[in-house]
Structure formats: structure tokens, C-alpha cells
Amino acid sequence: MQKHTIRQRATLLISTVLLLGIVASAQAWWWKSDDASNSVDATELQWEDMVPEGFVPMQSPLGNMSQEQIDKLFDGSEESNRELAEIEEMMAFAPTVPELDGQRVKLPGYVVPLDFDGQTQMTEFLLVPYYGACIHTPPPPANQVVHATTDTSVTVENTYEPVWAIGTMRTQTVRSNLAEAGYTLDIDELIPYQQTQSEQ
């Protein structure tokens, strides 16, 4: 009888450990701060909402240059480097939408860790509109990059899967070694992405 009780206790202990493992694994897919409000209170954004109405990105001036002018632009001289830097700055101009400053928003996107050395736990990362941005391709314009932060470390194991990021947005520029972000997001909730009725 005593052996049977020991076996039952062992079975219960193993079941508890397995259940805790499942719960811990599930937490890798979502995160919510202790003081997070209901996500219903957040304004749902799409990435085009973060570009001012009527703004058209500048087209590259290289298309209107002769081959001789292009060769001169890339000849490595101090004057050419200065002119090239000015062109790159004009091309990178991507204004933000001032009305979004201070709003609580819900934004879909992909997580880009700022440290690529096997990082899955993080308190800051970039949120971008498509997978591979800033890693496999040049970074999007600054108004299509969000510098996100959380109060506590979150686990994101699969960065190829989109998420909903919910929190307070600021129109603030942050530069990292990967990209310039035109917005910041103080995240209080990170959940798996699911299409809304408006997107279906």
C-alpha cells in the first residue's frame, strides 16, 4: 500500500512538472505587464497610418545623373563624400505623424532583436512591418521602424512569426546599429498576431 502511494505521488509530481513546462512554454508566445490595460482600449494601427498623408518618399537623384557624374560622386574625394552624405540624408527623410505621440496603440509587426547572438530574451528590440527587415534587406524608412522597450524581459523564440505589440507610442527618433526608428513604443502587452475582421 505504501509503495502504491509513493508511485501515485511520483506520478503526480511528474504531471505537475510537465504542466509547469507547458505553461512556461506558452508564456514564450505572449507577455503582459502587471499594469497592462485591456487591449480594447488601444487604437489599432497599420503601418501606412504611420506615414503622414500626402508624403511621397524622395526618388533617388542618381537616375538623373550621367555615368560621369555618378563616377565622380563615388570617387572617394572629400567633396564627393560630403555630397553623397547629403543625398543619403535626403533619401532617408521619413516624417512621422505627430498625432500618434502619446497614444496607446496596437500594432502588428515582426520582432528584430538588437543583438543577434542567439538572443531570445530581450527588453528592447525593433518592430518592423515585414520579416527580414534590417537583417536580410536594407532597413525601411524611419517612419516604418519602431524602437520597442519593455519593463521586464520578454521571450520571443520565433522572430519569423508576427506579433501584436500594444503600448504607448512616441514620435521620437532612436538610432541603433541596425536602423533609425522614427517611433518608440513602451510595450505593456505582446501577443501572437491574429487577423482582425477589418483585415479579413
- For 106-136, the pLDDT digits (tens) are 999 999 998 766 677 889 999 999 998 887 7
pLDDT digits (tens, 9 = 90+) for 34-91: 555 555 689 999 999 999 998 887 776 777 888 898 888 889 999 988 988 888 777 7
User: Could you give the domains of the chain?
Assistant: 30-51+98-192 (2.40.50.870), 61-92 (no CATH)
Nearest residue to 189 (alpha-carbon basis) of 34, 46, 49: 34
Nearby residues of 24 by Cβ (< 8 Å), 6 or more positions away: none
Q: What are phi and psi of 122, to 5 degrees?
A: -155, 155
Residue 110: name the closest of 164, 152, 187 by CA: 164
Q: How confident is the model at residue 10 (pLDDT cuts 50, 70, 90)?
A: very low
pLDDT at 63: 74
| Cβ–Cβ < 8 Å for 31, 77 | no
Banded pLDDT at 147 (limits 50, 70, 90): very high
**What is the pTM for the complete model shown?**
0.69
- Is the distance from CB of 156 to CB of 126 less than 8 angstroms? no
User: Cell 501577443 identifies what position?
Assistant: 191
